[in-house]
Amino acid sequence: MPKYAELKRELKKAGCYKESEGGNHEWWFSPITNERFQIGRHDREEVKPKTENNIRKQAGVPKKY
């Protein structure tokens, strides 16, 4: 499982960017799907598989195997 920081780096490479910050989450925007989505601000924690899949789906960034 990747950590939040690793997932964010991958999203940035795909063109996604952080729009704003909330309490425990950051709001990101994906130009691929034209959608806003949330990502936790727990950079050192591992992303649970279901959460990772949901973020990737909203961002339009498939998982690399």
For residue 43, is it within any domain? Answer: yes
For residue 64, is it within any domain? Answer: no
For residue 47, is it within any domain? Answer: yes
Residue 31: CB partners within 8 Å, gap ≥ 6? 15, 16
Dump pLDDT digits (tens) for 9-48. 999 999 999 999 988 899 999 999 999 999 999 899 999 9
For residue 63, is it within any domain? Answer: no
What are 25's strand-pairing partners? Answer: 40
For residue 18, is it within any domain? Answer: yes
Report the pLDDT value the prediction gives residue 65, as an integer from 0 to 100.
Answer: 67
Domain total in the chain: 1
For residue 34, is it within any domain? Answer: yes
Q: Which residue type is seen at 64? A: K
Q: How far apart are the first and last CA of the chain?
A: 12
pTM score, whole prediction: 0.91
Q: Can you tell me which residue has the tokens 């909203």?
A: 58
Residue 27 is part of which domain span? Answer: 4-58
